[in-house]
Structure 1
Amino acid sequence: MVQIGYTMMTEQAGPRALVEHVVGAERAGFDFSVTSDHYFPWLDSQGHAPYAWSVLGAAAQATSRIPLMTYVTCPTTRYHPAVVAQKAATMQLLSEGRFRLGLGSGENLNEHVVGSGWPAAHIRLEMLEEAVEIIRALFAGGYVNHHGAHFDVESAKLWDLPDRLPPIGVAVSGERSCELAGRTADLVIATEPKGELLADFDRHGGTGKPKIGQLPVCYDTDRDAAVARAHEQFRWSVGPWPVNSELPGTAAFAGATQFVRPEDVAETIPCGDDVDAFVEAVRPYAEAGFTEVALVQIGGDHQLPFLD
């Protein structure tokens, strides 16, 4: 049975609202939750980007059952991996064992803000692998010194470590990232229902590990309103990931999607209130082998009707 999760999408709601939403998701019976970790929204129309880790800390205190997870954090540019390890360990303690650390190679949209440039894709994967190595070393306890190709760690130690360490997930989009995830991760993350990604993950050591996908939906009793909202706020999602990871800001995403029509978005995102359409959208993930699927309800002001 595929577990169904809820997405706290930081790009479309402020911090207090996000916490209220995940409380509602727990009350509604969702199996788990995930949280995006952005510095920018994808489009100006989404309008938000609070600090995800503060939101997660508040959510840990406001809920008692629902698992929490970053989906995903980039531990290479905006954050140093030693700091990510500290944040994840603290979140696991605050949530009493409900936290999972989802990691990825990031997007220019969010990482450019620190002014260190945006590396090529193969360099980003090298950096991600080294970051995972550092995080796991700190999770193991004791002092860590590391001088690698991309990161330095000088006499670092986590003073507050949970008994049960946060599982680490790695986001994948191709064979190289699947190989990395299979070797280094406790679970895999993907945003498309591609069975070949999971097969590559399994081939490199991922067999039997959780496989987590994500699906945008736009629930509304008025289907036309749902389609319009999905187009206004989520047309960026129709672009290929190699392009999305390179664009530097909301203006670039607006320009890249200026010719995307509402009907184009409605072909990939279930809109309206037909439950069967939502089920059919989840089905490819289940058939591909995903064990968990997190739904994204589009529209920060339209969460409570969806949850109800």
Structure 2
Amino acid sequence: MPVVGWHASHEQIPPSRLLRDVRQAEEAGFEAAWSSDHFSPWSSRQGESGFAFAWLGAALATTRFPIGVVNAPGQRYHPAVVAQAVATLAEMYPGRLSVALGTGEFSNEHVTGDPWPDKATRNARLRECVDVIRALLTGEEVTHHGLVRVDRARLWTLPERPPRLLATAVSDATARWAAEWAEGLITIWQPEDVLRRVAEPFRDQGKPLALQVHVSWAPDEDEALRIAHEQWRTNTFPAPLCWDIATPEQFDQAAAHVRPEDMHGAVLIASDPKRFVEWLLKAADLGFDEIYVHHVGQEQEAFIDCFGEHVLPELA
């Protein structure tokens, strides 16, 4: 079976509570965790957005399992700053940090006031950032003039081993491009045929595959559906729309006509834990090495207890 981890959603939960939740997740039997990294939430109902790197230091200090984080270097984050942040965490907590690099979303990146590039330019910018980050993590002094600019940067604090640099991708086209430079892939739950195509370029190279699965659980099926619709209906839009919306208020406007029944495509919704066992076994059969479960509700305690008692033992 793959590693089954828990996802920390900074857009929905204050970092102090997320710290309590990640500790509970480890105690319940989750084997790893993953963290989002947003400047703003997807909707005003979610209502949070703590700084992921500050939280990661505390989370790694108070747990023992591996933790990963998504990051979008190039606009909100300068790649030299990303390299310094991940090098420091990897030096403090050897072998426990992974970073998944992507091109980002306008909702987080517009805060710089810079123009939002088209996807091809964002891809090219990300590739430059990856090269800069990798060079810095090996101790090189880097000067670079391109879509990002770096002047004589060098990291003086380095880990014995740099963290894994994965790619984020939801389409097979992006996955094929990312397989050229990334050490592995993290993607999201999609129809089986799409997942196979997205995973194929990495599987062909023997690189690790990770999957994020959005779920909604409650003891009552109607309540599970209500949670999914209340918290996650702004996250049902396909690319490029989801990349290009600027504010939580605009996301809420775009989601005004999303019905509760529409949530079943984006979120796995059930009250019976056996359903989640079936879904996660299916994901394992697709060849994913790591599966990160994100309960889309804001209250995590009962969900973690349920999965720890009824789901994780069935997957061991």
For this structure pair, what is the TM-score category when the shorter chain's length is used for normalisation? over 0.9
Aligned partners of 2:172, 2:261: CA distance in 1, in Å? 32
Give the 3-state SS of the residue equivalent to 1:86 in structure 2: helix
Of 116, 119, 124, which aligns to 2:117? 119
Deviates more, 1:171-180 or 1:78-87: 171-180
Structure-to-structure mapping, 1:157-306, within 5 angstroms: 157-193=154-190, 194-203=195-204, 207-300=205-298, 302-306=299-303
- 1:134 Cα deviation (Å)? 0.3
- 1:292 Cα deviation (Å)? 1.2
| Residue of structure 1 in register with 2:312 after alignment | none
| Residue of structure 2 in register with 1:156 after alignment | 153
Structure-to-structure mapping, 1:18-97, within 5 angstroms: 18-63=18-63, 65-70=64-69, 72-97=70-95
Give the 3-state SS of the residue equivalent to 1:295 in structure 2: strand
Give the 3-state SS of the residue equivalent to 1:163 in structure 2: coil
Aligned partners of 1:115, 1:54: CA distance in 2, in Å? 24
Count of equivalent residues: 301
Deviates more, 1:177-186 or 1:161-170: 177-186
- 1:26 Cα deviation (Å)? 1.0
- 1:239 Cα deviation (Å)? 1.2
Deviations 1:177-199 (A, max 9, x none): 22332121111111134110111
Aligned partners of 1:151, 1:183: CA distance in 2, in Å? 20
- 1:268 Cα deviation (Å)? 4.1
Q: TM-score, normalised by structure 2?
A: 0.91
| Residue of structure 1 in register with 2:8 after alignment | 8
Aligned partners of 1:216, 1:294: CA distance in 2, in Å? 9
The sequence identity of aligned pairs, in percent, is 37
Aligned partners of 2:172, 2:295: CA distance in 1, in Å? 29
- 1:19 Cα deviation (Å)? 0.9
Give the 3-state SS of the residue equivalent to 1:280 in structure 2: helix
Q: TM-score, normalised by structure 1?
A: 0.93
- 8 Å contact kept, 1:73–1:102: yes
Unaligned runs of 5+ in 1: none
Unaligned runs of 5+ in 2: 306-316
**Which amino acid letter does the alignment assign opposite residue 240 of structure 1?**
P
- 1:283 Cα deviation (Å)? 4.0
- 8 Å contact kept, 2:202–2:209: no
Deviations 1:145-194 (A, max 9, x none): 222x2011111111111101101011113344223321211111111341
Aligned partners of 2:304, 2:172: CA distance in 1, in Å? 36
**Which amino acid letter does the alignment assign opposite residue 80 of structure 1?**
H
Cα 1:175–1:245, aligned 2, differ >3 Å: closer, same or farther? Answer: same
